[in-house]
């Protein structure tokens, strides 16, 4: 296995995200209710009974880089929310169960997703308000891209690791 640098991995991750987002936008998103028409903007991100997104160490690195660009105050604010989510929802590193949910610390009311354009996780990109189940993007599409990211993560860090919840990933806890 040929290792790649974290910087190169994040570049490749960005390309996977862009391709996935283009496919979702072009083939599926037009069948969903636009976020601009939502009665409760961001409720899907703030709903502690709904969010259960898990990410790789590489995705966490991309998110942290974006938070660093936003400045120390904003980064610390998000990390504080992540720590609070870990405590409130009893999240832990790889032991996180897929059934544990949480409110996403990356969503900020009035702004939206702080990493929307640069590091938004694939399940978040795929999410939209679809009224008909038949209009949802196929789960295989997401699984295919998540497999690519898991393999890329292994090429960057030299080992396989389980994805963890966003709060655990960005709070600085080891994977």
pLDDT tens profile 100-134: 899 999 999 888 999 999 999 999 999 988 889 99
- Averaged over 143-159, what is the pLDDT? 96
pLDDT of 95 strictly over 80? no
Structure confidence at residue 50 as a pLDDT band (50, 70, 90): confident
pLDDT of residue 43: 85
Q: What tokens were used for 122?
A: 């694939």
pLDDT of 63 strictly over 80? yes
User: Could you give the CA distance from residue 80 to residue 10 in angstroms, rounded to a whole number?
Assistant: 24
């Amino acid at each position: 296995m040929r290792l790649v640098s974290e910087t190169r991995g994040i570049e490749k991750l960005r390309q996977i995200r862009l391709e996935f987002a283009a496919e979702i936008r072009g083939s599926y998103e037009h069948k969903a209710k636009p976020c601009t028409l939502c009665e409760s903007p961001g409720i899907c991100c703030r709903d502690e009974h709904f969010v259960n997104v898990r990410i790789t160490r590489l995705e966490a690195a991309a998110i942290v880089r974006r938070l660093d660009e936003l400045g120390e105050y904003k980064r610390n604010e998000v990390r504080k929310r992540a720590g609070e989510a870990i405590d409130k929802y009893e999240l832990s590193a790889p032991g996180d169960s897929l059934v544990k949910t949480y409110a996403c610390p990356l969503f900020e009311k009035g702004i939206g997703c702080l990493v929307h354009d640069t590091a938004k996780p694939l399940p978040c990109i795929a999410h939209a308000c679809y009224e008909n189940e038949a209009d949802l993007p196929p789960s295989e599409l997401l699984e295919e891209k998540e497999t690519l990211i898991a393999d890329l993560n292994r090429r960057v860090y030299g080992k396989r690791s389980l994805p963890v919840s966003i709060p655990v990933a960005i709070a600085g806890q080891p994977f």
